[in-house]
Amino acid sequence: MSATPTVGVLALQGDTAEHLRVLGVLGVPAVPVLHPEDLDRVDGLILPGGESTTMSKLAARYDLVEPLRKHIGDGMPAYGTCAGMILLADRILDGAADQQTLGGLDITARRNAFGRQTESFEAGIDVDGVGGDPFEAVFIRAPWVESVGERVRVLGQIAYGERAGRIVAVRQGGLLATSFHPELTGDPRIHRLFVDMVKGQA
Ligand SMILES: NC(=O)CC[C@H](N)C(=O)O
Active site residues: 82, 181, 183
Q: Is 192 annotated as a binding residue?
A: no
Q: What integer is the mean pLDDT of 101-116?
A: 95
| 3-state SS, one letter per residue, for 132-154 | CCCEEEEECCCCEEEEECCCCEE
Mean pLDDT of 83-93: 98
Supply the ipTM of this predicted assembly.
0.95
Q: Kindly tell me if the per-residue pLDDT of 1 is higher than 80.
A: no
Distance separating alpha carbons of residues 168 and 195, to the nearest angstrom: 20
Give residues (CB < 6 A) around ligand 1.
49-52, 82-83, 86, 111-112, 140-141
- Give the 3-state secondary structure of residue 183: helix
Whole-number percent of the chain with pLDDT over 90: 91
Give the global pTM: 0.97
2 confidence band (pLDDT: 50, 70, 90)? low
Quick check: helix, strand or coil at residue 176? strand
> Does 111 show up as a binding residue in the annotation?
yes
Instruction: Decide if pLDDT at 108 tops 90.
Output: yes
Q: Which helix (H) or strand (E) holds 157?
A: strand 153-157
Confidence of residue 15 (pLDDT cuts 50, 70, 90): very high
Tell me the average pLDDT of the chain: 96
